Amino acid sequence: MLNNSVIRQMIIPLYNKYTAGENLVSLQRKINQMNSLKMYPIVDYIKESVKKDIDESINEYKSIANINNVESVGLKLSAFDFNYYQINNTVNYLIEKNKIVLIDAEEVESQNKINYITNDLVKTFNYDSVNVYKTYQMYRKDGLDILKHDLDLFPYLGVKLVRGAYHNQDLKSGLLFKNKKDTDKSYDESLKIMFDKLNYNKKLFICTHNRKDIETMINKFKENKELYKDRVFHGSLYGFINEDTNKIIESGIKTFKYLPYGKMEDSIPYLMRRLYETIPKA
């Protein structure tokens, strides 16, 4: 059996490439570097699927709330063991500190709970502006229907569009499209719907590494920069698509990078998903 020291040595290259380090000092340093390149962080505490003590997660997010030059925070509800009281208090604290909160989607087995809690957060905190974003996974067969339903349901809605990061875990659920073409079609349709719906109370994070999506986003943005400049944002993973990121910045679209940090031993689930992202898909 491998000990912790050996495991650390094995994952150090991935960890250094895709994260901001293990503590708030290294995180602040990375944020400053990004800001100098006209990129903005979505700070993402790397720990997830907590089953017992959630105090560490609560304290970390409260520390994030007080970091300089951070306007957006990613929140994994599994880091709170889906404890609504603690999630609500943490989101409230972040918003009081002028942070935008993006609720991450997770595995199928957790997603119904996440949707339920996120819907309540949207009702509570998006009463006169968009403070909370909900994530829509377009590799799910029901992703488009959920998006359409929520656009009609919520007066103020932040939409974060992704294809989905839990393909291996969710594949046997029967809820995912069986081929990439159907996922791409669903994502294309969701982009079209969102650009048609954008106004003062609907905002959009387009989170994709797909070059076709990026070209579509840039072309649509150019059609009406004044309307879209405060409503359309791009998000990608730290360590990915550096060349395309420069093109997005040059287009005038505000550009964010998901920037995880936290203990190396907590990073393995995240890093395995990132490793899967690097494998070419048919």
Q: In angstroms, rounded to a whole number, what is the distance separating the alpha carbons of residues 60 and 43?
A: 11
pLDDT tens series, the chain, 282 aa: 445 666 667 778 888 888 999 999 999 999 999 999 999 999 999 887 776 678 988 999 999 999 988 999 999 999 899 999 999 999 999 999 999 999 999 888 889 999 999 999 999 999 999 999 999 999 999 999 999 999 999 999 999 999 876 666 766 777 788 888 999 999 999 999 999 888 768 999 999 999 999 999 999 999 999 889 889 999 998 888 888 999 999 999 999 999 999 888 888 777 777 766 555 454
Residue-level pLDDT at 13: 81
Q: Could you write out the DSSP letters of every residue in 143-179?
A: HHHHHHHHHHH-SSEEEEEE--S-HHHHGGGS-B-SS
CATH of residue 10's domain is: 3.20.20.220
In a domain, 94, yes or no: no
Q: How many domains does the chain have?
A: 1
Is the separation of the CB atoms in 34 and 71 below 8 Å? no
- Residue 229 DSSP class: T
User: Would you say residue 253 lies in a domain?
Assistant: yes
- The 10 Å CB-count burial string (b at 16+, else e) for 199-219 is eebbbbbbbbebeebbebbbe
Question: Tokens 């879209």 label which residue?
Answer: 228
The pLDDT, as a whole number, for residue 100 is 97
Nearest Cα neighbor of 110 from 42, 185, 178, 175 is: 175
Task: With respect to residue 202, please indicate whether it lies within any of the assigned structural domains.
Answer: yes
* Model pLDDT, residue 2: 45
Does residue 82 fall inside a structural domain? no
Residue 70's φ and ψ, nearest 5 degrees, are -125, 120
Task: Tell me which residue range forms the domain holding 263.
Answer: 4-76+105-277
- Answer whether residue 85 is part of any domain: no
CA–CA dist 84, 79 (Å, integer): 12
Closest Cα partner for 143 from 155, 130, 158, 161? 161
Examine residue 230 and state whether it is found in any structural domain, yes or no. yes
- Examine residue 86 and state whether it is found in any structural domain, yes or no: no
| 217 in a structural domain | yes
